Every structure is written in C-alpha cells, then in structure tokens.
Structure 1
C-alpha cells in the first residue's frame, strides 16, 4: 500500500487479495458457525460402543448351541422317519404274506390214527387186556394169562362152574378166568365192560385181583 498526493490510500493487488480472503473467511465463519438447534439435535454424534469379548463369546456359544439343537432335532426327525418307513415295510410284507397264505389251499389235517384192531379170539382178547393193564399199571404177561385161562376155562368166555363151593354158596365162578361176581365188581377196571362174561373185562379184573393177592397173574398156578 502506498499513499499518493491526493490524500487517499491506494490498495495494491496484493492488498486486494488479502482483503478478499478475510471477507470470504468471515462469510464462511458465519455460514459454518450458525447451526440451527434442531439440526444440531438431529445430527448428534453417536457414542462408540466399547468392544466386549465376553459378550461376543456368549453370543457365539448361543448360536452354536442353537445350531446343535436344530441338528439334533433334524436327526431325531430323520430317525423317526426311518423307523416308520421300516415299520411300514414290515407291515406291508406281513400283509403280503397273509395274502399268500390265504390263497394257499388249506392243508389237510392228518387223519386220526385208526383204533388198534384186536382179533375176536383168545389171542386178541389177551392182547387187548394187556394193553389196558399196561395203561393201568397192572402186572401180567401173555404167557401167564394164557396158562391160567386154559386151566380155568379152556378158553371159553361163557364157562361157569356150578359144582364148587362158590356155586354151593350161590356165587359160581364165571368166564375165562373163573372169577365170582363180588370179586369181579370189586376189582373191575374203568374203561372195560361190566359184563363178567366179556372176555377182556374178565381177564383185566382177574389180573387186577391176582396182582393184589399174589403180585401178578404170572404167580398163579392153581385155583386162586
């Protein structure tokens, strides 16, 4: 800046730029410094959140636990689905098996064994009597029975003694082994006839009596 003789101060180009800078700075100060209250409140600075390693770890643990629970639930659901599928397959297989069984012809039941046949003669009577005696645990043999039958009646199932002491007393000996009525009734064996002249019933009752008195008909060698 310099003075001239006219009495006024003359601004140089440098002074003008400086003055312009001051003016611009002042204007900027006015613009930047004056902030409405509402704007200041709206754009309040955000307080930074402090890093918490423990809280972060707990969050991670919770997420992992949640994921594990979800995986366990899915595994349980899958297992239940497999079990149900297996059960369904088993039920279907059983149903098919039942259907096949229903289509098969019914197997014929085995025929009941035919009753043992015995001859209507002395051999058949003794054989049948021995089978009954075996079932009832009455001792005796084929030979012992036949020997006594032949001595007592010669094999006649209707033989009757009308002359011995029993006959005199009104209870004559009867049948193959010449047994009297009271003895026949006392030693009768269930499953046989009550007819004293029935050859099988007569043999079994007589052998039952002989077993009681002598141990077995095999031990009888004379009148008994």
Structure 2
C-alpha cells in the first residue's frame, strides 16, 4: 500500500502510523460512498462500520490508569510506613524519657538515703560524744568526791559520815548527829562507858555515839573501818542503827 500523503508521516511510530492509515482508509471509503450514486444496499458504508477509537490509544490509557493506581498504592504504603516509623520513634523517645525519669528518681532516692544515713551517723556520733563527755564529767565528779578531804575534827567527821550516809540512803542531819554526840561523848572519839549495865555485861559503849560492840557489828556500814573507836565508822553505824529503830538520829533525844 502506498504511504499516505501526510506531512511528517515518516517520523510517526508504528502505532501512530496504524492510526493514521486507518483514518485515511475511512476517509477514502467515505469519498467512494459519496461518489458512487445509487449504489446497492450491500455497498453502503455507515458510521458504525468505522472504528470508534484507535485500539492503541485505549491500551495506553489503560496502562496509564494502572500506572496511576500503582503510584497511588505506593504513595499510600509509603505514607503508612512513614507514620509507623514516626510512631515507633515517638514510642522509643517516650520510653527513653520514662527510663531517664526512673533513673533520675532512683538516683535522687539513693542520694536522699545516703544523706539520711550520713545525718543519722552524724547524730549518733554527736550523741556518742555527748555521752562520753557526760561519763567523763561523772567520772570527774566521782573522782573528786573520792578525793574529797575532810578536816580531822568533829565537824569533818560528821560531814564525812553524812556523805557516806547519803550514798547508802541512811537519813540524818548535821544538827541531829552533833547534838547526840555532845550528849553521849562530849565529842571525844575515845570515850568509853565502864559503869553502866552494858559495861557490867562486858560490852561497854564506845566512841562518839557510844555504840556497843554487837550493835556496831550488826549496823556497820561498808566502806568504813571496823574499829568502833574510828569517828566516821562509829557515827555511821550509830546513825544506821538509829534509822532502823527510831527512823533517824534526829529523833533521838536521850539514851538509845
């Protein structure tokens, strides 16, 4: 078939050439129909006998539609993946933030516990220092009391006896003791009664408060001498006896 006389026909691709040839043939048929007069019904050509659209163009449109749908699907998939990645990143960031907060809370709790422990240790140390100081002061007072000296006379003997009596819980006052000593011995620690019933029974009264041997032995106070003539031992034993029998040496106003 000779090439249609269409400008640029040689540069068309195969599909375009087929379309152009078809259009040319349709045009020729239309001209022939118009030229032949009174042709038979079999020779008539109608518009239905001509192709509506080139087949190649329909195929290209279908391909373009499929390509477009594929691109839409790919775009939707990419968008979904992007959202999933964003959600994963957000979840990871929140998890990291939560973990950091938990670690910070643990660190703070540990620091507070350490500070509390240090404060308790400091308080315990301060208490220990105060207690040690208190014990030291008590020892100093004890040593001072132990080293306390008294004059070697009636006043000193009475005062030393009163300190011993205070430690042992024996009642009595300076005035009561002094009053009875003056009446019983006149303040002579070596005084002895050799004429009363006790003397006749072989147990004469001795010392500042005239204590017989059995009474001195029964009411002797630990820490004092075992000599009935010892002023402090004699006063303390006599006051111990008077507390047991009369409530206190202060209640004694005559022979006892």
TM-score, with structure 2 as normaliser = 0.55
Q: Where does 1:56-135 land on structure 2 (aligned, <5 Å)?
A: 59-75=85-101, 112-113=140-141, 114=144, 115-135=147-167
Distance 1:147 1:54 in 2: 116
Distance 1:217 1:170 in 2: 25
User: Tell me, which stretches of 5 or more residues in structure 1 are unaligned?
Assistant: 1-10, 30-44, 92-108
1:21 alignment partner in structure 2: 9
Q: CA deviation at 1:70?
A: 2.1
2:76 alignment partner in structure 1: 51
Equivalent residue of 2:177, what SS? helix
**Would you say 1:214 and 2:239 are equivalent positions?**
no
1:139 alignment partner in structure 2: 171
Q: CA deviation at 1:71?
A: 2.9
Equivalent residue of 2:90, what SS? helix
Distance 2:177 2:163 in 1: 13
Distance 1:140 1:84 in 2: 63
Distance 1:65 1:27 in 2: 55
Deviation by residue 1:8-27 (Cα, 9 ceiling, x = unmatched): xxx9xxx6754983696459
User: Tell me, which stretches of 5 or more residues in structure 2 are unaligned?
Assistant: 18-66, 119-135
**Would you say 1:182 and 2:208 are equivalent positions?**
no
Task: Give the helix-richer structure, 1 or 2.
Answer: 2
TM-score, with structure 1 as normaliser = 0.62
Taking only aligned residues, the RMSD between alpha carbons, in angstroms, comes to: 4.1
Tell which has more relative contact order, 1 or 2 (C-alpha 8 A, sep 6+). Answer: 1
